[in-house]
Amino acid sequence: MANASDGMNYAPKGKAAPVVQPGEFHFAAMHLDHGHIYGQCNGLIEAGGTLSKVYDTEPERLARFCKTYPQAKAVADPREILEDPAIRLVAAAAVPCDRGPLGCVVMRHGKDYFTDKTPFTSLQHLAEAKRTAAETGRKYMVYYSERLHVESAIAAGDLIQEGRIGRVVQVLGTGPHRHGAKGSRPAWFYRKAQYGGILCDIGSHQLEQFLYYTGNSEATIQAAKVANYRNPDFPEFEDFGDISVIGGNGATGYHRVDWLNPDGLRTWGDGRAVILGTEGYIELRKYIDVTTDNGGDQLILVDHKGEHRMACAGKIGFPFFGRLIRDCIDRSETAMTQTHAFKAAELCLQAQAVAVKVA
């Protein structure tokens, strides 16, 4: 039977790998509009963070969150989080169009911010966040979960750093998602001003991976397309998009995202990546190895020594979260640089802006 999950409730769990003592790093959760907030919190808790407070506007959503995390005190006013000096970081998964402004509020209250992707729906919000981060010295970090919370994707980065496939010259990425039954999504999901467009939204995963795996700090969008093939009842919705990108170092990328994942698949999306190097290539089968019982997190490496398959689930861990906590304490940049987080966001906004609508 097909798994009913659609990615909205994607919340991986890994091995505890605390980098701080209990109670040393307090964080809070705000605005639970997207289920990724559970993945964000899981990662921080496993790294030793203490989830102490939560705020949301919907009682049902708040109750469900507190059932999962009974240690979190529900508060009725966001100021009880923003003005609490014990809280160092705020994790949030607000409606996409609200993420940028919320981050600026959090940073101006002297706290670091950890938002779900996509981090912005407009270049204006990005520019304001850049200014606020620079002025306050606070972090605006992003949950690019398709790399940060997938063990095979982390392993691929390690192999690239080791030089196993030489210089990376191209990344092919696919990010299919299951849309689910009509009416099962919140209203903002279908309003372009609120969700930003498909390339802005789930395309942000893809462009972040392109920058990371190719070692680029700059890139140019060569072409982009969007379409609504299957959802005419929602004219502002895009269920297909693709991007061609060229990195500053000459590496190229092609990335396809969609909401057309068939119901017969056992999970919410057959996310894959093929990373081509001058000395070999890596294929990632992130969430499922179709028609087998291998499970997800499959990494296939082909190099001059031969063919290799690695089952990564439960073996790699999720180091981003511990590094983020240490970065917040030490004011370092070991998890992700601020420049990288903002550049990935900028590219997806640029791709969305130039995209040709083909259907």
Task: Please state the domain extents for the chain.
Answer: 26-146+319-337, 147-316+349-357
For residues 348 and 197, what is the distance between their CA atoms, to the nearest angstrom? Answer: 10
DSSP secondary structure, 87-135, as one string: EEEEEE---HHHHHHHHHHHHHTT-EEEEESP--SSHHHHHHHHHHHHH
Residue percentage of the chain with pLDDT more than 90: 94
Strands 50-55 and 26-30: parallel
Average pLDDT over residues 137-163: 98
Q: Residue for token digits 């995390």?
A: 69
Structure confidence at residue 181 (pLDDT):
81
pLDDT for residue 1 is more than 50: no
For residues 297 and 305, what is the distance between their CA atoms, to the nearest angstrom? Answer: 22
Could you tell me which CATH number the domain at 147-316+349-357 has?
A: 3.30.360.10
Phi/psi of residue 179, each to 5°? -75, -40
For residues 235 and 197, what is the distance between their CA atoms, to the nearest angstrom? Answer: 12
Average pLDDT over residues 103-131: 98
Q: How many other CB atoms are there within 10 angstroms of residue 265's CB atom? A: 16
Query: For the chain, what is the mean pLDDT?
Result: 96
Q: How confident is the model at residue 28 (pLDDT cuts 50, 70, 90)?
A: very high
- Topology of domain 26-146+319-337 in CATH is Rossmann fold (3.40.50)
Task: Give the closest residue to 265 by CA, choosing from 234, 286, 237, 284.
Answer: 286
For residues 258 and 291, what is the distance between their CA atoms, to the nearest angstrom? Answer: 21
Q: In the Cβ-directed half-sphere of 272, how many Cα atoms lie within 13 Å?
A: 11
User: Cα 24 vs. chain centroid, distance in angstroms?
Assistant: 26
Provide the 3-class DSSP secondary structure of residue 222: strand
Phi/psi of residue 226, each to 5°? -140, 160
For residues 39 and 25, what is the distance between their CA atoms, to the nearest angstrom? Answer: 18
pLDDT for residue 143 is more than 60: yes
Average pLDDT over residues 323-335: 98
Structure confidence at residue 291 (pLDDT):
97
Residue 211, amino acid: L
Residue percentage of the chain with pLDDT more than 70: 97
Show Cβ contacts of residue 117 under 8 Å, excluding neighbours closer than 6 positions. Answer: 36, 142, 143, 144, 145, 201, 202, 204, 205, 208
Pick the more confident residue, 12 or 215.
215
Q: How confident is the model at residue 326 (pLDDT cuts 50, 70, 90)?
A: very high
For residues 52 and 96, what is the distance between their CA atoms, to the nearest angstrom? Answer: 24
Provide the 3-class DSSP secondary structure of residue 229: coil
**Fold match, 26-146+319-337 / 147-316+349-357:** no
Strands 280-285 and 298-303: antiparallel
Provide the 3-class DSSP secondary structure of residue 80: helix
For residues 147 and 12, what is the distance between their CA atoms, to the nearest angstrom? Answer: 12
